[in-house]
Amino acid sequence: MTYLCQLSELRHDSAIGLDPWCDGRDTLIALRYGDGVRVFRNNCPHYDVPMHYRKNGFMTADGQHLVCFAHGALFRPDSGECVLGPCLGQSLKALEVSIDDKGSVWLVG
Q: Give me the count of residues in the chain.
A: 109
Q: What pTM was computed for the model?
A: 0.93
Q: By CB neighbour count within 10 A (0-12 exposed, 13-18 middle, 19+ buried), where does 71 fall?
A: middle
pLDDT digits (tens, 9 = 90+) for 96-109: 999 999 999 999 98
Segment 60-92, tens digit of pLDDT: 999 999 999 988 999 999 999 999 999 999 999
- Top CATH class of 2-107 equals mainly beta
C-alpha 39/C-alpha 28 separation (Å) is 7
First to last CA, the chain: 6
